[in-house]
Amino acid sequence: MAEPPPNRQPPSSRTAFIEATADLMRRQGYGATAISEIVALSGAPKGSLYFHFPGGKEQLAAEAVSSAGERLRGQIAAILSSSDDLAVCIGRLIDALAAGLERSDYQRGCPIATVTLEAASASEAIRVSADAVFGSWLTVLAARMRADGLDPAAAERRATFVLSAVEGALILARARGQLEPLIAVRQELTAGPFGR
Amino acid sequence: MAEPPPNRQPPSSRTAFIEATADLMRRQGYGATAISEIVALSGAPKGSLYFHFPGGKEQLAAEAVSSAGERLRGQIAAILSSSDDLAVCIGRLIDALAAGLERSDYQRGCPIATVTLEAASASEAIRVSADAVFGSWLTVLAARMRADGLDPAAAERRATFVLSAVEGALILARARGQLEPLIAVRQELTAGPFGR
Cβ-based contacts of B180 with chain A (< 8 Å): 160
> B191 pLDDT band (50/70/90 cuts)?
confident
Contacts of B195 in chain A (CB under 8 A): none
Asked if A30 and B30 come within 8 Å (Cβ–Cβ), the reply is no
Nearest to B29 among A29, A109, A160 (CB): A29
pLDDT in tens, B152-184: 999 999 999 999 999 999 999 999 999 999 999
Provide mean pLDDT across the span B4-10: 52
The residue in chain B having the minimum alpha-carbon distance to the alpha carbon of residue A178 is B131
Name which of A122, A156, A165 is nearest B165 (Cβ-Cβ). A165
CA pair distance B90, B86, nearest whole angstrom: 6
Please answer yes or no on whether A134 and B32 come within 8 Å at the CB atom.
no
B-chain residue closest to A194, CA distance: B193
For residue A121, the chain B residues in CB contact (below 8 A) are 27-28, 105-107, 174
pLDDT at B52 over 60: yes
Per-residue pLDDT at B196 exceeds 50: no
**Mean pLDDT to the nearest integer, A102-119:** 95
Residue of B nearest to A137 (CA): B172
Residues of B in contact with A32 (CB under 8 A): 30-31, 118, 122
pLDDT band at A191 (very low <50, low <70, confident <90, very high): confident
Give the residue with greater pLDDT, B6 vs A82: A82
> Residue B1: pLDDT above 50?
no
Q: How confident is the model at residue B194 (pLDDT cuts 50, 70, 90)?
A: low
**CB atoms B175 and A116 under 8 Å:** yes
Quote the distance between the C-alpha of residue A157 and its chain's center: 20
With bands split at pLDDT 50, 70 and 90, how would you rate the model's confidence at A37?
A: very high
Q: Which residue of B has its CA nearest to A107?
A: B121
The predicted model gives B96-125 an average pLDDT of 95
Per-residue pLDDT at B125 exceeds 70: yes
Q: Distance between alpha carbon A13 and the CA centroid of its chain, in Å?
A: 22
Contact B134, A172 (CB under 8 A): yes
> CA–CA distance from B60 to each of A30, B14, B30 (Å)?
20, 10, 10
Q: Indicate the pLDDT class of residue A1, thresholds 50, 70 and 90.
A: very low
Cβ pairs A/B, distance under 8 A: 179
Cβ within 8 Å, pair B131-A169: no
Distance of alpha carbon A130 from its chain centroid, rounded?
A: 9
Helix axes B152-176, B86-103, angle to 10 degrees: 30
Do B160 and A185 lie within an 8 Å CB cutoff? yes
Sign of the Cα torsion B183, B189, B192, B196 reads negative
Instruction: Measure in Å the smallest separation between the Cα of B7 and chain A Cα atoms.
Output: 33
Closest approach of B183 to chain A, Cα-based (Å): 9
Q: What is the pLDDT of residues B69-79, one digit of tens each?
A: 999 999 999 99
Give pLDDT, residue B80. Answer: 98
Between A59 and A195, the higher pLDDT residue = A59
Would you say residue A31 has pLDDT above 50?
yes
pTM comes to 0.92
Q: What is the mean pLDDT of residues A6-34?
A: 85
Q: Which of B68, B60, B30, B34 is nearest to A28 (CA)?
A: B30
User: Residues with Cβ < 8 Å from A133, sequence gap 6 or more?
Assistant: A65, A66, A68, A69, A70, A73, A112
Name the burial class of residue B125, with classes exposed (0-12), middle (13-18) and buried (19+) by CB atoms within 10 angstroms of its CB. Answer: middle
pLDDT at B85: 95
Averaged confidence pLDDT in chain B: 92
Mean pLDDT of chain A: 92
Q: In chain A, pLDDT over 90 holds for what percent of residues?
A: 88
Q: How many helices (H) and strands (E) does chain A have?
A: 9, 0
